Amino acid sequence: MTAAGMRAAARKSLGLVGRPNYISRDYSKRHGGEFLSAPWCAMAVTYWARVSGNARAVLPKGDRAYTVWFAEDGRALGRWHAGTAANIKAHARPGAIVFFDWDGTDTIGRIDHVGIVEVNLGDGRVQTIEGNTADACKRRVRGPSVVAGFWNPPYTQEDDMPSAKEIADAVYERFTHKVSETHWASREGILDPDQKIAPHDALRQIWAYGKDGYHRDRDILLRLEALTAAVRELAAARDGEVDVDALMARIQEAIEGVTVRLDIGGGTE
């Protein structure tokens, strides 16, 4: 079940004119002769869904000739979008079932006509394929003034959407950046200028920094313990003679190499 298959089936009907036609005959075979010359826009969508193997996605409650019921099927699935420019722009995918009210409302009960979206034009309008548009099957361009709403059938393969891998790659790329010369890590010599940091590398870097930080903390702790021992020694010998120079040398040795960075900015670096 694919949107591409649905659109391909609709394209094959382009140029079909008049009624009865093979679409209304197909519907009439199953539902009665009264449909032979009935308005056939919804019958066309039904036909395209059946011949393209998309019936389960497009016709959740079976064949449709009555547009209002067809729209209600989509609403029952929780897939209905009102026909606003913003909704059309954001949600009308190729293969969507799109409904029209020539009076300009978004009310399902007032729907007059139906077609499928072939192309989302990206400006709040869609290019459609419609059966029974002036009693023919044609491509049309429709905007929010006549689109009452639409729904996207649950095609199993959303072939007009980026694949999961494409989305993952785009996200990965979005979170990947080059280290600039002015970046603090570059200035400190931790990273090379122009080095590429991807999410995977960044996680490894965080792990490495964490490990390094642990060892540094441990080193500082040992030095502080040595300092404490020196002070205790001084306190114990307060009544005796203390070699001040020797003690200062020991303290200096203990704190040598301890670096304290003062963070005074709120920047991201």
Partner 1 sequence: MTEKTEADLTAEGVDVHAWGPTESDEEAVLRSLYGEPDAGGIYRGAPE
Chain residues binding partner 1 by CB under 8 A are: 8, 11, 14-15, 17, 31-32, 34-35, 38-39, 41-42, 64-69, 100, 102, 111-113, 118-119, 121, 125, 127, 130, 132-135, 138-143, 145-146
Q: How far is the CB of 11 from partner 1 (least distance, A)?
A: 7
Give the nearer residue to partner 1 in terms of CB position, either 17 or 237: 17
Q: How far is the CB of 216 from partner 1 (least distance, A)?
A: 58
Give the nearer residue to partner 1 in terms of CB position, either 28 or 87: 28
Q: How far is the CB of 73 from partner 1 (least distance, A)?
A: 13
Rounded Cα distance between 105 and 83, Å, is 9
Give the nearer residue to partner 1 in terms of CB position, either 42 or 92: 42
Give the nearer residue to partner 1 in terms of CB position, either 79 or 140: 140
Q: How far is the CB of 62 from partner 1 (least distance, A)?
A: 10
Give the nearer residue to partner 1 in terms of CB position, either 51 or 68: 68
Q: How far is the CB of 130 from partner 1 (least distance, A)?
A: 8
